[in-house]
Amino acid sequence: MSDTAEIARFEALAEEAMSAIYDARGADVRAALEDARYNIERAIDIARMRGLKDEIERLGKRRDRIQAAYDLRFKKRPAKP
pLDDT value at residue 4: 87
In 3D space, the residue among 45, 59, 54, 48 whose CA is nearest the CA of residue 12 turns out to be: 59
CB atoms within 10 A of CB 28: 12
CA distances 41 to 16, 27, 30, 58, 81, Å, are: 15, 22, 16, 12, 39
pLDDT value at residue 79: 61
pLDDT value at residue 80: 64
| Amino acid sitting at position 81 | P
Question: What three-state secondary structure class fits 27?
Answer: coil
pLDDT in tens, 4-56: 899 899 999 998 888 877 776 656 888 888 999 999 999 999 999 999 999 99
Show me where the domains of the chain are located: 3-74
Does the pTM exceed 0.85? Answer: no
CA dihedral for 18, 21, 26, 32, sign (positive or negative): positive
